[in-house]
């Protein structure tokens, strides 16, 4: 049985029967945001509290009703991506192409096929409604993949509608990917071959993404399809990037790579530049473009004065607020979304907000821009030893790109009492389904063709490590970034860092020259030298453990 909009894609139900074996189910196809909003509140059920049953209401309205955001609460075991439960089906034709690792592990193909059959039989027996949305992964028809979301929860269908482009033309239906998202199917590791009660399994052979069990964090949908694009695009000669991008008045783009906490979203939101995208970008032959049609922002401790676009979007329709707790003693139905406590960590640090690009008044036309002339690798060095800015050459770009360094702060996680180095290849290793060298070579090749400059921009600490020194001011960071964007660092005098061999400018407009060499900012120079040597050793250890040299990445210090 099909309801709503079947004429738009007359064969989708027969396609799903042929691909998956689904039949005797009710489809709710192509519902708009108001219909999905109402359905989510009425029907989405699952566990939202530790020890709770699986029949708890998961989605709620605020006092704004469907003219405002939908509030969604995930399973307590899924307040973020279930990284250790993410796999790819290990078929012979892909096994040598996939970068297998702990957060993207092999899943026996026969075991996967048996699990998929059990999940489909379960859905056919239940006959419960499945929400279907036809969207695209990618905004550029040169690489975009038709993406069909099929799932039990209306909230997830709304998320797909918010986050993925719609209405593209010129894209082959033969490339369609289908996600089957079934939170109510609780995996049994002994029976299903899973690690736990949930699994996310990517099937590159049949273009299926299977999400089963309590893995209902909305970001699972987004990052699973990002992983797919990371596998597909290199074969087209295109580069998928875990980055933000924007366009200046000069008509040239900038790419900003960075892990969480490095300033990727903040620095790309520039009133003098138009946003291409804040998280997932594709670099083709002649442009850069957003994979998405929305943003998925962290809300914890949001400063509404510094993030006015997100603040305003909190009260807009067609948006989803995820895992922000209700106010004490006040029903959500009587709560204005602007009154929610965005510092409340009682559910998770990883509170989130999904909203459409149209909420941002400064978006580049078509969420695309021309070839970039500046590549920025962001890091937040809590050891306080890396320069605020370094000008990178070809081999250095590849080295620091595959290293993907930033640092975790003391106190942010249990057991961390001093800064801890974090390395994530290509600034997003869990989502990189091909070897890191594949993306590094594409980046180096495309940067050379575009004649793009590259910098390593440190948004971390100066004058000492976290707890001793001070975070480099956002004013100075923006001045360094703007100088690079405007070419003011291209021909400037530089000196080499004695430990990291990085090329440091000796001056920059709007920035005190004494901070450009980080050693000068430490009172105890011997302590600086020891800290720099320690961080260098961590870089070298990561390089060795990942086997980057065997993949053709050159050492640069």
Catalytic one among 264, 446, 453, 546?
264
Catalytic one among 43, 81, 148, 222?
81
Catalytic one among 33, 207, 242, 273?
242
Contact assessment for residue 116 and residue 227, using Cβ atoms and an 8 Å cutoff: no
Neighbouring C-alpha atoms within 13 Å toward the C-beta of 504: 22
Give CA separation, 337 vs 16, 158, 217, 313, 393, in Å: 38, 18, 20, 10, 47
Q: Is 352 a catalytic residue?
A: yes
Q: Is 390 a catalytic residue?
A: no
Q: Is 242 a catalytic residue?
A: yes
Q: Is 23 a catalytic residue?
A: no
b/e per residue 172-194 (b: at least 16 CB within 10 A):
eeeebbbbbbbbbbebeeeebbb
Q: Is 453 a catalytic residue?
A: no
Catalytic one among 28, 43, 47, 223?
223
Contact assessment for residue 208 and residue 112, using Cβ atoms and an 8 Å cutoff: no
Token pair 């990037």: residue: 241
Catalytic one among 2, 111, 260, 507?
260
Q: Is 28 a catalytic residue?
A: no
Q: Which of 397, 537, 514 is nearest to 457 (CA)?
A: 397
d(CA 485, CA 546): 32
Residue 60 CB partners (closer than 8 Å, separation 6+): 41, 70, 71, 72, 73, 332, 333
- DSSP code at position 376: E
Q: Is 260 a catalytic residue?
A: yes
Catalytic one among 352, 408, 453, 546?
352
Q: Is 33 a catalytic residue?
A: no
b/e per residue 460-499 (b: at least 16 CB within 10 A):
bbbbbbbeebeebeeebbbbbbbbbbeebbeeeebeebeb
**Other beta carbons less than 10 A from residue 302's beta carbon:** 19
Question: Which are the catalytic amino acids?
Answer: 81, 223, 242, 260, 264-265, 279, 352
């Amino acid at each position: 049985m099909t309801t709503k909009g079947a004429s738009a894609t007359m064969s989708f139900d027969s396609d799903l029967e042929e691909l998956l074996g689904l039949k005797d189910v009710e489809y709710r196809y192509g519902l708009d945001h108001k219909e999905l909003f109402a359905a989510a509140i009425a029907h989405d059920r699952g566990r939202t509290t530790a020890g709770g049953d699986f029949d708890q209401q998961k989605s709620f309205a605020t006092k704004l009703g469907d003219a405002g955001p939908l509030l969604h609460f995930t399973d307590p075991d899924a307040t973020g991506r279930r990284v250790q439960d993410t796999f790819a089906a290990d078929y012979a034709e892909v096994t040598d192409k996939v970068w297998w690792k702990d957060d993207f592990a092999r899943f026996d193909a026969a075991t996967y096929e048996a699990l998929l059959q059990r999940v489909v039989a379960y859905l056919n027996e239940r006959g419960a409604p499945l929400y279907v949305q036809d969207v695209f992964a990618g905004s550029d028809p040169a690489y975009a993949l038709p993406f069909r979301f099929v799932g039990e929860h209306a909230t997830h269908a709304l998320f797909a509608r918010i986050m993925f482009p719609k209405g593209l033309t010129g894209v082959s239906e033969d490339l369609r990917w289908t996600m089957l998202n079934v939170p109510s199917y609780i995996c049994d590791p002994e029976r299903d071959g899973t690690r736990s009660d949930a699994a996310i399994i990517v099937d590159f052979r049949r273009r299926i993404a299977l999400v089963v069990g309590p893995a209902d964090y909305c970001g699972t949908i987004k990052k699973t399809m990002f992983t797919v694009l990371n596998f597909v695009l290199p074969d087209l000669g295109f580069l998928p990037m875990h980055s933000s991008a924007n366009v200046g008045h000069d008509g040239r783009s900038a790419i900003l790579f960075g892990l969480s906490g490095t300033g990727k979203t903040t620095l790309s939101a520039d009133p003098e530049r138009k946003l291409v995208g804040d998280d997932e970008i594709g670099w083709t032959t002649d442009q850069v473009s957003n994979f998405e049609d929305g943003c998925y922002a962290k809300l914890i401790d949001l400063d509404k004065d510094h993030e006015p676009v997100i603040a305003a979007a909190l009260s807009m329709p067609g948006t989803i607020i995820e895992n922000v707790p209700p106010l004490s003693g006040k029903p959500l139905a009587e709560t204005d979304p602007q009154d929610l406590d965005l510092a409340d960590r009682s559910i998770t640090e990883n509170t989130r907000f999904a909203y459409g690009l149209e909420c941002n008044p400064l978006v580049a036309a078509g969420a695309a821009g021309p070839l970039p002339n500046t590549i920025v690798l962001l890091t937040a060095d809590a050891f306080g030893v890396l320069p605020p800015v370094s000008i990178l050459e070809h081999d250095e770009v590849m080295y620091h790109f595959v290293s993907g360094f930033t640092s975790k702060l003391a106190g942010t996680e249990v057991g961390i009492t001093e800064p801890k180095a974090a390395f994530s290849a290509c600034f997003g290793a869990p989502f990189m389904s091909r070897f890191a060298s594949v993306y590094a070579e594409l980046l180096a090749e495309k940067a050379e063709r575009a004649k793009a400059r590259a910098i390593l921009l440190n948004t971390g600490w100066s004058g000492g490590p976290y707890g001793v020194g001070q975070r480099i001011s956002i004013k100075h960071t923006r001045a360094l970034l703007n100088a690079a964007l405007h070419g003011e660092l291209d021909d400037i005098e530089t000196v080499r860092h004695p430990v990291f061999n990085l090329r440091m400018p000796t001056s920059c407009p709007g920035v005190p020259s004494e901070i450009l060499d980080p050693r000068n900012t430490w009172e105890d120079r011997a302590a600086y030298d020891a800290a720099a040597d320690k961080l260098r050793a961590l870089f070298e250890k990561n390089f060795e453990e990942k086997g980057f040299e065997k993949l053709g990445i050159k050492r640069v210090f």
